[in-house]
Each structure stands twice: as structure tokens, then as C-alpha cells.
Amino acid sequence: MKFSKAFVITALAASANGYELLKNYSKGFRIGAATNTIHYNNANYVNAMKAFNYMVAENACKFVSIQGTKGRFNFNDCDAHYNKAKELGMDFRGHALIWHSMAPKWLEYEDSNTMRNSIVNHITTVLKHYEGKIDTWDVVNEAIDDDSNGNGWKYRNSFLYQKNRDFIDLAFKTARQVAPKVKLFYNDYNTEGIWGKSESVYQFVADLKKRNIPIDGVGLQYHVSVQNQPQFNKINDLIGRYCKLGLEVHITELDVSCVNSCNAGDVESRQSQVFTNALKACLNNSCCTAFLVWGIGDPDSWLGNDKKGLLFNGNYQPKSQYNALLNVLKTTTAASLGNGGNTNTNTPAVDVSKNAVKLQDGWYTIKNTGSGKYLYVDKAGDVENVVIGSTARKWKLTNVSDGYVTLTSELGNYMLDVANGEDVNSANLQIYSAYGGNAQQFVILKTSNSNVYTIGTKASSGQRVLDVEKRGTTDGSNVIQYALNGASNQTWTFESTSAPSSGSQGGQGGNNNNNSCWSSRLGYPCCKSCNVVFTDNDGKWGVENDDWCGISSTCNNSNTCVGAQGYPCCQNSCIVYSTDADGRWSIENGDWCLIKNNSC
């Protein structure tokens, strides 16, 4: 794509600062920094601020800064940050409504009920004060314990948690009620893919989504060093997983400490690689919509000047780390940046509302008109590739919302899925454990031919459709998403069929002896048993070790007895070892079985 003449002139013009500004190449993508009013009297500091288009206050908008004394709200410092942002043409990010570490002492000493009222009052007052001014807030900050190892999560044992175990739910629900148009984020550190806590925070956030707690995004703080930093693939994949939950991601507090390498000749080069990996991963995922560093220059960094963790030096002149980010922005297309970062290309607009067709819920085989072959996947499992084939695989179509559908494979609880939820041409089609996010929703679009359709992806807002790559016609030809062009490799028919037998649904899906079934994607382990206690749109749930677990698709084939799914009826034994609400229990073949009422 060519840049407009006006954009080129703006970007290439020498700024009053004497260096090119990041914001001049951001083209709508938010790139920003944390600031502090105590430095606003330093002209070099303020000039460096002008490189950015997004600002967050380091401390001024936190609980204790605004309401240090109960009932007395002082917005002076937070307002000063906001007003400076507006003066410099920057958007402003709210941080943070609830954080145990910068909460006033009076809140800590309150009893549970009084504290709940104080939390609600503080959130309400702050959000109303900035109504129509700040569109994104960190609602809760750093609530997950550092010892969380990726196998579930532990809440930080703060005074907030001790007195109100549901304070996180309370905070998000209150914020949504008061400010329904504001984007609500959870923000935390050690979440960049290095530590086990990264996975725990992901699982925690997935649980918020599952329980319909109103959360819109996740802030990955990204305080790292040249010795401890995520590789590109790890952070890229992690952001992609959040995209699949339907969440936005912000990199919120990036700095890169030199730690024990501060005098090494290549330290800035190594730090630059960390910065650019983070920015590239963000730009590579459409849901990553902001990138912020935690300070302007080394002298104002919380790390200390000697750790050299930021983009500007002691004189507030750009370092090589700054130039590395600038080069990333320069080499990323304007269209991509304007779309929040994903590598987009121009596509003809498809009016989804006018062209969407509603098919009845049920089982279908899906045939490509160009090849006469069917939408096919060989076996069950996450990221199994989707192709065309002579064998007619069955897909369960379920209408969800806004005209979109999900398509579940006959092989188990796996849905058709756009890899990484990307809005790009040639993104691969696969199956993945069912969770129903944007990557797993599709829209059936009419064509000029009766009963012939294109299948748009929600990941692209319906602008890209299922496409047999390179117009292949042989078994195994790959299926991707691509901009609509009307060719026969993009058109499909839906042939209604019967539900698959229980044997075929089981396929090779979900192993109930490991952590790889569909529920793992939502942060819950696979159940070892097949005892169903709850069913929702995600699937069938059990309870083990006092926590939810997902029922594996292999349980579809289990020899179960009525009233106790997952356990067989006793074939020979009538010896009663236990009795509960399900009935009378005996033991056969070293496991429990349920005694049938008419057999003993």
C-alpha cells in the first residue's frame, strides 16, 4: 500500500525535537508512555513526551492519590496529567481503579461490608468524573499471586481478598454499570510468557469471561530484562490466545533492565531486540491495540537511571532502542497500523447485514462448488489442519449472535477456527477446542446462485471468506481465509445430514488423562472421570479437587448407567458398598459401578 502524500510529508518532516517521532508513523495505533507531573518543568522531558500519542499517569490516578482521605476526592494531579495529554494531542489511559498496593490505609482497616461500599463509591465517583474523557481503565491491578505456576491460579492474599473474596467481580461489575462504554482491563506483571504466572493469569481471565464478568481487555505489563525476556513466538502466541477469548490486549508498562550487563558493548542492541519483539508481536495480532513504555527516559524510570530500561537517555535524547521501534513502525503499513496492528490488506467491503443467510441449527456436510470436495479434517485435536476431501465430514451448525454461527466437528468438541484469530489473507483454517470466540464464528453469505454461499469469518468482520488455497481441487488441498473474489473455490453448499453416531463423535478427541481437552483452553483441566454436573455452551463440566474440569469427548463413548454418567452399571455384583443420591454403589473390575434397581 502507498502512503498518502500528506502522511509522507508529516512523517518525514524534521520535528522541533530534532528526531522523528514515533506517533508520526503510528497511523492511529496507540503508542505511549507513563508520565509524572513532577517532571513537567523539564523542557527536554516534555519534548520527549511529544514522540507519543498515548499517555498513562504513573501514579496520579490510583486510589490513594485521588482519595487519600475517605470521602475527599482530589483529582488535581490526575487532571493535570489528562490536561497535558490533551495539550499534546494524546489519548489518555486510566490506571488503576483498584490496587492493593496503592490503596489508602483507611480502606485497609474497614470491615467487609463497609469496604465493599467504599470500593463501589470510589469506582463510581472516578468514572463519572472522567465520563466521556477516558475510554479505557485498568479496573483491577496485580491481583494474582506470584507463586501461581500455571496450574490454576492463586489470588494474592491482600487485605482486599481477605475481606472480600469477590472484590474483583465487584469492581468490574460496578465499572460496567457506571460506564458501559468504557473498556475495562485487568493489568498484571510476569504475564509475558516467561513465568508460570503468565498461564495462570490467562486462566484467571478466561474464567472471568466464562462467568460473564464484564472484562474487555488484558494489560501485559512487560517489566523484563535482557536476561529474562520472552521470545517472539511466545509473546505472539500468548497475545493470540487472548484474541481468541475476544479480548483486547495492551502492552502497558514495558521496560527492559540491563541488570548485570549494563556496561556490555552490545547491551542496547540486546535491549532493542526485546522492545522490537514486543511491538512486532503486538502489531501481528489484531486485538493488541496499544503499546506503552513505563516512563519517558532512564532518569525517571522506577528501575533507576543505571538500569537503562527506557527509550530516552539522561538528556532525554532517543537511544538506539527508540530508533529500533521507529524502524518497526516505518516498515509496517499504514493500513495495518490503523487497524490496531494486524497486517491487513485492502479488501472489498462486504455488507454482512444485507448478505447474511440464516440456516437452521443442525448437522451438515459442507461441499466446495469448485472441486466437488467436502470440508474435511483428518482427526480430532487442537490445530488439526482443515482441507477438502472426498470424505464428507459432518459439521454441527449452531446460530450464536449477530448472524454468526459456529461449526463443530463430528470428531468431538472442536470447532472450525481461524488460526490465531488473524484478520489477514491466507490465515489457516483448523479445528481447535471449542470456546466460541471470534476466531470460531462464521457468517453464511448469499451469492447470486440459489443455495450456494460464501462463509465469512468473524475474525475479519465477514470481509474474508473460506477459500480453497490456489484453487485446489484434489484431496488435501488446504483451506484458508481470503478476501472475497467470487471464485468457485470460495463458494460452498450446505447439505443437511443426520447427527453422527456416538462412535464417530468420539473420534480421537480429548484424552481425559491429560490436560489437553477443550476445557484447557479456558483454563480448566480435563476431568479424570465422566461424571457431568453442569452443561453450558462451552461443553459438559465436572468437579474434581474442588474445582471445575471439562468432560472429555471420550466420555461420549463411555458405558454409562442412567443417573451416574461416566460410571457403568454393575453386571454381576449386588454387594452395596455405598449409597448416595445417585443410588446404590458396588465395585467391579476395580472401579465403582451403579447397581440397577431391577437387577438386585
The grid coordinates listed for 82 are 489528562
Cα dihedral 366, 372, 378, 383 sign = negative
Residues 160-166: contacts with CB under 8 Å, at least 24 apart: 160/98, 160/100, 160/103, 160/115, 161/100, 163/110, 163/111, 163/112, 163/115, 164/112, 164/115, 164/116, 164/119
Coil, strand, or helix at residue 5?
Answer: helix
Name 501's Cβ contacts closer than 8 Å, sequence gap at least 6.
Answer: none
What's the N-to-C CA distance of the chain in angstroms? 78
Helix (H) or strand (E) holding 289: strand 288-293
Q: Residue 98 in contact with residue 169, Cβ under 8 Å?
A: no
For residue 484, give the nearest of 354, 352, 377, 389 by alpha carbon: 352
Angle at 27 between CA 130 and CA 62, to 5 degrees: 25
- Alpha helices by DSSP H, 13-57: 43-49
Q: Residue 549 in contact with residue 526, Cβ under 8 Å?
A: yes
Which residue among the candidates 248, 253, 384, 410 is catalytic per the annotation?
253
Coil, strand, or helix at residue 431?
Answer: strand
List beta partners, residue 584.
Answer: 579
Q: Residue 467 in contact with residue 480, Cβ under 8 Å?
A: yes
Torsion angle of C-alpha atoms 23, 27, 33, 37, degrees rounded to 10: 60
Coil, strand, or helix at residue 127?
Answer: helix
Report the distance separating Cα 350 and Cα 19, nearest Å.
41
CB neighbourhood size of 213 (10 A): 19
Name 561's Cβ contacts closer than 8 Å, sequence gap at least 6.
Answer: 567, 568, 569, 593, 594, 596
Q: Residue 185 in contact with residue 218, Cβ under 8 Å?
A: yes
Which residue spans within 313-394 are E strands per DSSP?
362-368, 374-377, 384-389
The grid coordinates listed for 541 are 463440566
Q: Residue 203 in contact with residue 152, Cβ under 8 Å?
A: yes
410 flagged as catalytic: no
Report the distance separating Cα 457 and Cα 492, nearest Å.
14
For residue 372, give the nearest of 475, 450, 243, 283 by alpha carbon: 475
Beta-strand relationship, 395-399 and 362-368: antiparallel
> What positions carry a catalytic annotation?
253
